[in-house]
Amino acid sequence: MKTYQGSCHCGAVTYEVEADFTEGMTCNCSHCKRKGMLLTFVPKTQFTLKSGEDALTTYHFNKKQIDHVFCKTCGVQSFAQSGDMVAINLNCIHDLDTDALEIKKVDGKNF
């Protein structure tokens, strides 16, 4: 596994994630589609928030089981968390060639 650095746009929120990113997913639910998210999931043990906990705010919708956190300053959602898993927005990972990933489409709209 490799350690990647990620952040929001303004840099207030930074994190590290240990993973082998080979694939991602897009979702057509009302939330992911509007934000243009490119996601993958990792266990919480592979994720470390380095800075910006005080810069985060949380949004809940639908079943309110996922903490959709985003930066209060720039509005970027670079990750979300629920239980023991963290959803990583691969568009927020530094130096990751997302064009090289296998992308799966998820029908979250009709889930």
Three-state helix/strand/coil letters over the chain: CEEEEEECCCCCCEEEEEECCCEEEEECCHHHHHHCCCEEEEEHHHEEEEECHHHEEEECCCCCCCEEEEECCCCCCCEEEECCEEEEEHHHECCCCHHHCEEEEECHHHC
Pairing mode, strands 14-19 and 56-59: unpaired
Please give the pLDDT value at position 63.
80
Closest CA to 71 of 4, 22, 10, 2: 10
Please give the pLDDT value at position 74.
97
Please give the pLDDT value at position 102.
97
Please give the pLDDT value at position 64.
85
pLDDT at 111 exceeding the cut of 80: no
CA distance 59 to 55: 14
Please give the pLDDT value at position 61.
85
Fold for domain 2-110?
A: 2.170.150
Determine if the pTM surpasses 0.75. Answer: yes
CA distance 82 to 92: 19
Q: 14-18, 58-62, 70-74, 88-92: lowest mean pLDDT where?
A: 58-62
- How is the chain split into domains, by residue range? 2-110
Please give the pLDDT value at position 95.
94
Note the pLDDT tens digit of each residue in 36-51: 999 999 999 999 999 9
